[in-house]
């Protein structure tokens, strides 16, 4: 690869990638057991439309009686507090493990330096495996296991979210640290700084902004995840959503949905507002203006106070639950909990079971493939209309002077694209499943579509941000006859590496969601694992559990490998 100079890059990647994607879509479509009655026959379609109309009519009249409102508000407060405390716990657990799982911290950069690095390599791999296990074991299992210790209350929810957030943050932080350009820390290394010193004074400050931005995004995602966990047994507003759906109480379902949408949208906008302050390029016209030293200190103190107040408020909301959880520790049945864990640790290696495990693993994989590709495509299509740079700031790099009429039109388009994405991601996957199950009935189709819609919303935000973060001067230099072509040939190719990273990360997220959704109709790995757990077939359940961890390890190692290969190029 050396000595040939930079490779010419096609704007949309080599055809091989397309072939691979097409093959993945085809294979995924074949693997799944589709329920498409609603689309394949006229009668089925008419019946589905009728069902949806009746449902929407029910949703249009939410139950706004005082006790229901009160209960929903309480559930929202609990969900929010659980998510915040869970994220805080996850960050404090995940950060140290991320240090051990980071290549640049443990091994330094550059080529492998011989066998004396072996112990460090082992630590590195062990830390990464731990992170994979934390993420790969589904949240609802964490909730079940932790409930043996802290009982049935929000304390268990905080711990369960904390564990999976630790796995998630640990992975991403270590990847972000490892992707810091080694040359940017060369000055430090040449003065003899150790790996840890290089990290503290070089890598960590350089990666701080994207890191903070990601932590904020995770905090906000934890709010949504708290609702998914609710469905599989974590309580909170997610459980209320599924209960009302199962009961067919559309009026109350509507109330719960409204509260849920309000909660996620508020979290989304708040996180976005904060993240906008963390733009990477300080010279970017959209970046926050430079502020004085005193003002910066005041801002920092304000942020710390805000975080402190939010955490203190969360503790206050959950105080009875946390107390109850601590009280439960006095009566842990260690023998039973230990037996349960030992049972889950030893898999059944019977060939018939292994074949079943392999077959059922294909379901979440296929869901994740289809939903991630579909979501990425939709997000990419919405990225142009949803880009502030291209809709409001285009005159800065195209030199055009749009009239007030056209400017209003562009603003409306921007608002529409961003609003659509906000709703797409504001409605959690489970709520999409509920909505789409009315049309398709329970099965694979609503699950795939739900994950795709939600991914489109999530990816649209980061896709549009990647476009907006491009320095305008690079766009200025691209010769293109109009905005559309400037976007397609100037902006997209430059944002594509970032898009790819986000899409790959979303794939891993979707894989886990595909497992969780198995329980609500998609079938496959999650459903079989849960079934065996419920039927106390622990050895078989263990085989499915190991498969989940193995899938996570595979996806993680592939994404790390792809990133390293790309950064070396």
Partner 1 sequence: MLRPLPAFATLAVWSLSACGPQPAATPAAAELRFSVLPDFNKDTLAEASRQLAAVLGRKLAVPVRYEAANDYAHAVNMLAANKVDFVWLGGKTTCDAIDAGAGTVHVLATRDIDLHFKTYFVANREAVAAGKVKPMQDLRELAAVAKDLTFTFGDKNSTSGHLMPRHFLVLAGIDPDRAFRGACGYQAAGGHSATLKAVASGAADLGALNFAYYDAAKAEDKAAAPIVYTTPEYVDYAWVAHDRIGADLAARLRGAFTGLDAAVAEEKAILDAWKCRKFEPAQDSQWDSIRKVRDSLPKGFLR
Q: Which of residues 357-376 bind partner 1 (CB under 8 A)?
A: none
Q: Cβ closer to partner 1: 130 or 258?
A: 130
Stretch that binds partner 1, among 21-29, 150-158, 282-290, 361-369 (CB under 8 A): 150-158
Sequence-separated (6 or more) residues with CB below 8 Å from residue 312: none
Enter the tokens of residue 32: 């799944």
Q: Does residue 65 touch partner 1 according to CB under 8 A?
A: no
- Binding letters toward partner 1, positions 322-361, x by CB under 8 A: xx-xxxxxxxxx--xxx-xx--xx------xx--x-----
Q: Does residue 281 touch partner 1 according to CB under 8 A?
A: no
**Sole binder of partner 1 in the list 81, 520, 525, 547 (CB under 8 A):** 520
Q: Cβ closer to partner 1: 77 or 133?
A: 133
The answer to whether the CB of 309 falls within 8 A of the CB of 315 is no
Angle (CA) 157-525-439 rounded to 5° is: 85
The answer to whether the CB of 317 falls within 8 A of the CB of 504 is no
Q: Does residue 231 touch partner 1 according to CB under 8 A?
A: yes
**Sole binder of partner 1 in the list 76, 147, 222, 459 (CB under 8 A):** 147
The answer to whether the CB of 274 falls within 8 A of the CB of 216 is yes
**Sole binder of partner 1 in the list 27, 69, 95, 148 (CB under 8 A):** 148
- Binding letters toward partner 1, positions 476-515, x by CB under 8 A: ----------------------------------------
Residues of this chain, 29-48, that bind partner 1 according to CB under 8 A: 33, 35, 47
Dihedral of CA 203/561/462/130: which sign?
negative
What is residue 498's three-state secondary structure?
A: helix
Q: Does residue 297 touch partner 1 according to CB under 8 A?
A: no
Q: Does residue 458 touch partner 1 according to CB under 8 A?
A: no
Q: Cβ closer to partner 1: 246 or 291?
A: 246
What is residue 136's three-state secondary structure?
A: helix
**Sole binder of partner 1 in the list 130, 206, 266, 362 (CB under 8 A):** 130
How distant is the alpha carbon of residue 516 from its chain centre?
14
Q: Does residue 321 touch partner 1 according to CB under 8 A?
A: no
Q: Which long-range contacts (CB under 8 A, 24 or more apart) does 197-200 make?
A: 198/104, 198/108, 199/99, 199/102, 199/104, 199/105
The answer to whether the CB of 148 falls within 8 A of the CB of 340 is yes
Minimal CA–CA distance to 155: which of 319, 354, 294, 44?
319
Residue count, binding to partner 1 (CB under 8 A): 75
**Sole binder of partner 1 in the list 151, 167, 364, 385 (CB under 8 A):** 151
Q: Cβ closer to partner 1: 151 or 170?
A: 151
**Sole binder of partner 1 in the list 120, 441, 494, 560 (CB under 8 A):** 441
Q: Does residue 124 touch partner 1 according to CB under 8 A?
A: no
Minimum separation from the CB atom of position 149 to partner 1 (A): 5
Q: Cβ closer to partner 1: 495 or 516?
A: 516
Question: 7: buried, middle or exposed (CB in 10 Å: 19+, 13-18, 0-12)?
Answer: exposed
Question: 550: buried, middle or exposed (CB in 10 Å: 19+, 13-18, 0-12)?
Answer: middle
């Amino acid at each position: 690869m050396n000595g040939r100079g930079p490779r010419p890059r096609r704007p949309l990647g080599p055809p091989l990638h397309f072939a691979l994607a097409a093959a993945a879509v085809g294979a995924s479509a074949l693997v799944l057991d589709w329920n498409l009655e609603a689309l394949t026959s006229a009668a089925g379609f008419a019946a589905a439309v009728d069902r949806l109309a009746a449902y929407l009519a029910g949703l249009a009249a939410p139950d706004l009686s005082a006790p229901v409102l009160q209960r929903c508000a309480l559930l929202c407060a609990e969900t929010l507090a659980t998510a915040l405390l869970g994220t805080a716990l996850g960050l404090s657990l995940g950060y140290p493990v991320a240090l051990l799982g980071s290549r640049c911290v443990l091994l330094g950069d550059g080529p492998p330096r011989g066998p004396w690095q072996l112990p460090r390599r082992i630590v590195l791999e062990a830390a990464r495996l731990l992170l994979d296990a934390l993420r790969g074991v589904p949240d609802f299992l964490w909730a079940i296991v932790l409930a043996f210790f802290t009982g049935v209350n929000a304390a268990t929810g905080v711990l369960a979210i904390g564990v999976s957030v630790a796995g998630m943050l640990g992975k991403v932080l270590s990847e972000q640290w490892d992707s810091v350009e080694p040359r940017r820390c060369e000055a430090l290394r040449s003065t003899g700084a150790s790996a840890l010193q290089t990290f503290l004074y070089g890598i960590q400050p350089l990666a701080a902004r994207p890191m903070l931005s990601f932590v904020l995004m995770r905090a906000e995602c934890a709010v949504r995840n708290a609702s998914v966990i609710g469905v599989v047994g974590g309580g909170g507003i997610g459980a209320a959503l599924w209960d009302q759906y199962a009961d067919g109480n559309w009026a109350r379902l509507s109330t719960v949905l409204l509260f849920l949408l309000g909660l996620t949208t508020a979290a989304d906008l708040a996180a976005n507002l904060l993240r906008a302050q963390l733009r990477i390029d300080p010279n970017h016209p959209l970046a926050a203006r430079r502020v004085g030293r005193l003002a910066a200190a005041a801002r920092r103190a304000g942020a710390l106070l805000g975080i402190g107040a939010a955490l203190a408020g969360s503790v206050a909301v959950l105080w009875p639950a946390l107390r109850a959880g601590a009280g439960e520790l006095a009566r842990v049945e260690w023998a039973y909990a230990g037996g349960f864990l030992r049972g889950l640790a030893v898999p059944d290696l019977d060939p018939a079971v292994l074949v079943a495990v392999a077959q059922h693993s294909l379901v979440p994989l296929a869901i994740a493939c289809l939903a991630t590709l579909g979501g990425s495509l939709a997000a990419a299509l919405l990225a142009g209309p949803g880009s502030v740079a291209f809709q409001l700031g285009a005159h800065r790099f195209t030199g055009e002077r749009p009239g007030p009429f056209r400017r209003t039109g562009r603003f409306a388009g921007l608002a529409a694209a961003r609003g659509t994405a906000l709703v797409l991601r504001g409605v959690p996957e489970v709520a999409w499943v509920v909505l789409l199950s009315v049309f398709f009935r329970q099965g694979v189709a609503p699950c795939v579509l739900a994950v795709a819609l939600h991914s489109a919303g999530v990816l649209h935000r980061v896709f549009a941000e990647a476009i907006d973060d491009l320095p305008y001067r690079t766009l200025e230099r691209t010769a293109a006859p109009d905005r559309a072509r400037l976007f397609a040939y100037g902006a997209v190719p430059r944002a594509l590496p970032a898009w790819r990273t986000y899409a790959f990360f979303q794939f891993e997220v979707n894989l886990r969601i595909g497992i969780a959704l198995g329980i609500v109709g998609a079938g496959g790995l999650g459903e079989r694992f849960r079934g065996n757990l419920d039927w106390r077939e622990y050895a078989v359940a263990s085989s499915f559990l190991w498969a989940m961890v193995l899938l996570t390890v595979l996806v993680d190692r592939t994404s790390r490998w792809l990133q390293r290969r790309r950064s070396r190029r």
